[in-house]
Amino acid sequence: MTTLSQTKEIFRRADAVCFDVDSTVIREEGIDELAKFCGVGDAVTEMTRKAMGGSVTFKTALTERLSIIRCSREQVNKLITDHPPQLTAGIKELVDTLHQRNVKVFLVSGGFRCIVEHVSTQLNIPLHHVYANRLKFYFNGEYAGFDETQPTSESNGKGKVISMLKEKHGFKNVVMIGDGATDLEACPPANAFIGFGGNVVRQQVKERSLWYVTSFGELLKELEKI
C-alpha cells in the first residue's frame, strides 16, 4: 500500500506527469462551456456532475451530452476565440519546472482535442503529448458525432493511455494529476495519483486520494526539495 510520503517521492522522481485538463489545468469544464455557448448549459452541467461523480459510464455521459449540444464546427471555433480556456493559477510555472527537469508532460483529457490543443500550445506541451476526444463534423460543418475509437472516450480510458505511454517510452514513474473519478481510476497503471481540488472539490476523489492538493504551488514546493 502506497503512503503519502511514497506518493510525494514518486512525484519528485517522476519521468512523466499526466494532467487532466478540465477543472485541473483549466478552470472550467470544456463541455459545459460549449453547452452554455450553444444554449443548453443547465441540462449538460447536471450530466457532467453525474459523469464526474462516477454514477454513469463516461462514454454514455459523453454521448448523451453531445447529442444535446450538437455543436457545429463554427460554434466550437467561435467558443475558443470568444471564450478561450482559462489556465489555473500556477500551472504554467509547474509545467515549465517539470520541463526544465526533463520530465515529460502529457495532457490526458476526456474533453475535446480542439480545446485541449489550444491549452497545450499555451503550456509549450507538444501536440503529440495530447490525448483527448475528437469531435466529428460533416462537410457542411454540422455535428457528426465523436471518434469512439479514442481511448479517452471510455471509462478507464486514461489508464489505457498511461499503459500505452509506459510501454512505448519505458517510463518507470508516471504520475496522474486530476480532479475527477476518471483520473483516480488511472492509478494503477499510473504509479501515483494526486487529487486536485483547486477549481472544484469532488468528495469521492478527495476521500480516496493519498495526496490531495488545492493549489499547484504545493506541487512546486515539493519539487524544490529535490
| Type of residue numbered 135 | L
| Type of residue numbered 84 | P
pLDDT tens-digit profile of 200-210? 888 888 888 88
Spell out the domain ranges in the chain. Answer: 4-28+85-224, 32-82
Cβ–Cβ contacts within 10 Å for residue 207, how many?
9
pLDDT tens-digit profile of 115-143? 899 899 999 999 999 999 999 999 999 99
Q: Residue 54: which pLDDT band, with cuts at 50, 70 and 90?
A: low
pLDDT tens-digit profile of 159-215? 999 999 998 889 999 999 999 888 888 889 999 999 998 888 888 888 888 899 999
CA–CA dist 87, 85 (Å, integer)? 6
CA–CA dist 189, 108 (Å, integer)? 14
CA–CA dist 223, 226 (Å, integer)? 6
Concerning whether 20 is annotated as a catalytic residue, the answer is: yes
Q: Residue 55: which pLDDT band, with cuts at 50, 70 and 90?
A: low
pLDDT tens-digit profile of 73-121? 998 899 988 888 899 999 999 999 999 999 999 999 988 898 899 899 9
CA–CA dist 137, 191 (Å, integer)? 37
Give strand pairing partners of 85: none
Q: What is the CATH number of domain 32-82?
A: 1.10.150
Could you give the 3-state DSSP secondary structure of residue 198? coil
Please report how the helices 58-69 and 30-37 are oriented relative to each other, as an axis angle in degrees rounded to 10.
20
Domain 4-28+85-224, architecture per CATH: 3-Layer(aba) Sandwich (3.40)
CA–CA dist 186, 203 (Å, integer)? 17
Could you give the 3-state DSSP secondary structure of residue 194? strand
Distance of CA 204 to the CA centre of its chain: 17
Mean pLDDT of 42-67: 77
Among candidate residues 15, 22, 42, 96, the one labeled active-site is 22
Position of cell 483520473?
A: 183
Eight-class DSSP state of 101: T
Concerning whether 15 is annotated as a catalytic residue, the answer is: no
Cβ–Cβ contacts within 10 Å for residue 199, how many?
18
CA–CA dist 109, 132 (Å, integer)? 5
